[in-house]
Amino acid sequence: LRLKSPAQKGKMKLDKVYMALLHHPVYNKSGEVVASAITNHDLHDLARLCATYGLAGYFVVNPLPLQRKLAEKLIQHWITGPGAAYNPTRKEAFQLARVAADLEGVKGLIREESGRALKLVGTTARRLENQISFPALREKMDRDQDQSWLILFGTGWGLTREFLEKEVDYVLGPIMGAGDYNHLSVRSASAIILDRLFSCGA
């Protein structure tokens, strides 16, 4: 994960970095904590993002068995089903995607697969106390060579405050644009975040 020069960065596989899309615990419109439904285009777009930046894997995490079954079916359609021949680049991206019931399972899998300690990074559009800046996180990732990283994205109305306070090692500061409005879709937010962290530049 040592990102020395843009050329090196471009070639590099970020084999210590994973991402996950969490459907629980997230808020709904009324501020209740819920498990949200799978969105088809989240599956596609985040898999392509993960493949583009060379991440080690992408987890779709949902505690509801029927939702997991749906996600598996969609993913398999593009890997082993009729979709594989129809769109090979989609197949390649979806090969990085895995479905899981909970974050504990994902953490266990990554630790087993990578053989390294794991740090979790939460993301949110909200300003909270003790958020880490993009440059500071990049520096930590670059310095800690024996560390795996899992970047977490929310669905619904975002990951709960309690989860971000208790379950992750770092919470990234929010992406801000021209004004106060910063409610991005998870597809846009994740693309901006990965580019800020791992871009090989233009």
Residues that bind ligand SAM (CB under 6 A): 123-125, 153-155, 157-159, 174-175, 182-186, 189
In the complex, least distance from residue 42 CB atom to ligand SAM, rounded to whole angstroms:
7
Residue pair 79/43 in contact (Cβ under 8 Å)? The answer is: no
Smaller CB separation from ligand SAM, 53 or 153? 153
Cis omega (within 30 of 0) for bond into 25: yes
In the complex, least distance from residue 25 CB atom to ligand SAM, rounded to whole angstroms:
11
Residue nearest to ligand SAM (CB): 154
Smaller CB separation from ligand SAM, 51 or 168? 168
Smaller CB separation from ligand SAM, 58 or 91? 58
In the complex, least distance from residue 137 CB atom to ligand SAM, rounded to whole angstroms:
12
Smaller CB separation from ligand SAM, 4 or 29? 29
Residue pair 104/163 in contact (Cβ under 8 Å)? The answer is: no
How far is Cα 180 from Cα 129, in angstroms, rounded to an integer?
Answer: 18
Total H helices, total E strands in the chain: 9, 8
Decide the pairing of beta strands 117-122 and 147-153: parallel
In the complex, least distance from residue 88 CB atom to ligand SAM, rounded to whole angstroms:
27
Smaller CB separation from ligand SAM, 99 or 152? 152
Residue pair 73/43 in contact (Cβ under 8 Å)? The answer is: no
How far is Cα 139 from Cα 197, in angstroms, rounded to an integer?
Answer: 10
In the complex, least distance from residue 123 CB atom to ligand SAM, rounded to whole angstroms:
4
